[in-house]
């Protein structure tokens, strides 16, 4: 009956971000995030998030 009650634990996040200028005014960025106990719920996760961004200006 009490199985649906969330188990609250502290949320922890680690992020690694790297941005490199490939040529003048052109950047590529990558990002990695690790989230332990997302939404303070130990029944979820951990979650790995990978993102990238391409930026240019003229």
Position 1 scores a pLDDT of: 53
Our count of domains for the chain comes to 1
Is pTM beyond 0.85 here?
no
Position 32 scores a pLDDT of: 98
Helix (H, G, I), strand (E, B) or coil at 27: strand
Alpha-carbon dihedral angle through residues 12, 19, 25, 53, given to the nearest 10 degrees: -50
Position 2 scores a pLDDT of: 61
- Where the chain has pLDDT below 50, the residues are none
Q: What's the domain range around 31?
A: 2-56
CA distances from residue 30 to 20, 34, 43, 49 in whole angstroms, order as listed: 9, 14, 28, 11
């Amino acid at each position: 009956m009490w199985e649906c009650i969330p188990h609250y634990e502290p949320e922890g996040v680690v992020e690694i971000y790297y941005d490199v200028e490939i040529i003048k005014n052109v950047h590529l960025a990558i990002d990695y995030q690790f989230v332990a106990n997302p939404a303070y719920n130990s029944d979820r996760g951990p979650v790995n998030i990978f993102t990238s961004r391409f930026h240019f200006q003229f």
